[in-house]
Structure 1
Amino acid sequence: MRLAIELRRLRDAAGLAAREGAALLGVSAAQISQIEAGLAGVSEKRLRRMAANYAATDEEFIDALVAMATDRTRGWWEAYRGSLPTPFLDLAELEHHASCRWDVDFLHVPGLLQTEDYARALFSYVNPEFPRSEVERWVEHRMKRRIIIERPDPIPYETLIHEAALRIRVGDQIAARAQLTRVLELSEADHVIVRVIPFDLNGFGGAGSAMVYAGGAVPQLDTVVRDGPNGPVFIDSEAQLNRYRTLFRRVEAVSLEPERSRDFIHRLAKEL
């Protein structure tokens, strides 16, 4: 779908109607429409010809689109197709291909840092009608998503966590202490940066900026993910991406430095 969106944007930027793009490519307008709707794939040769027809000259961007078009990965998330909503599988796939990851969270510990007990308590509370087996399916999926920061070649990860998220006891006292310990352990990794947003900030109006920011192969392919009523919502327009990059840096600027953040979390854990 993202490839389809980017190809449509290239055509629009060239000022061409779908039928004009189809004529240049030697295909029907219906074929162009199917490609741009994500209903049909596109070969490397055809994609590069489309880029040339649209006067696209950013070779790094075009190469990234080719990589998307020719990728045939069937990742671990496919095992959950049919049992979990598609947007959550899309999120796992997005993370798999991400070059970096930023999180901002205000009410919960970020998913990539959650322990099994924390995730289990969270899913059980939010979905009280779920049978135990279904809750375990969600927990298992969330734990597998952590691979991007736990594998031998992890991606750079930075998270900004509000004090509220660290203090709210999603589970019991033992689970809360274990969760804080888990955050502390991960914060020691070279590729992980954890910063705390304390309660006592003056003039802080950024509590509405919770998000996941996934870096693409090139900046044009970055993606912001926000929670929606039916699951993750994916945002990819350049104007919105710029807005969320700015928001992240503003919140980062008022957050505690990593060392002070570790000290802060350690004090919270001792209170338990």
Structure 2
Amino acid sequence: MNAALTTTGAEVLARGVTKRFGVRGQPVTVLDDVDLRIAPGEFVSVIGPSGCGKSTLLRIIAGLLDADEGSVAINGEAVPQAIRHKAMGLVPQTPALLPWRSVRDNVLLPTQVNTAANAGRNLLDVDELLTSFGLGKDLRKYPRQLSGGMQQRVAIARAFVFDPPVLLMDEPFSALDEITRDQQRLGLLDFWQSNRRSVMFITHSVPEAILLSDRVVLMAARPGRIAEITEIDLPRPRDESVFLSPQFREYEIRIREGLRRVMKNAQD
């Protein structure tokens, strides 16, 4: 994957983010005073037990949910302005492709929404972008004709069509089998290392988080908050050989121990 992207990453800054949901008529705090900064061009994975609020935090940053307290800024802009400027690309857990549109037309869809914001933008060549994702021969195919891994590549390509400085990924490989998942995350790693964007990546996989990230953020639940942050000081560029590194194993042990602690505390 080596599409010719030009935009550099942008800073993502969340301060004091708190979110509550009503459960049986009572407010439940899902996120409590969360501070998180993603530097321009940094890859940050967020990991934690189910219910810790990691996907909720991503949706607040993406503008899909409003925080009850706190703020989020993308390169100093409030989220609504960042959305208007199409500064963020979102890859959901499932590809969410429209079955009646071809691969090419699914990737073009964001360019046909809010067309007033397109003026003067650097829209990537869709055919070239899809070719860089290994889909150059599949432009006219429909989602039903693609494997799960190929569908997810289409969703990632769609998120990049506006050349956004920020990419938000919510467990994009969770529905894939392990072999396909390995292929997809190595492809994403190669793509990101060639074209640095600021990435927030939600995952339940500790090895995946270590392989991809500059930092791994561990969240605790009840209420959701940041418990630990681990700096991943492994040399780049990386490939699958990193799994054999003793340092990789040390990071894996440290993060798994942190997960056990937060899960035990949630049960106490």
Taking structure 2 as the reference length, the TM-score comes to 0.27
More strand by share: 2
Name whichever structure is richer in helix by fraction: 1
Greater relative contact order (Cα < 8 A, sep 6+)? 2
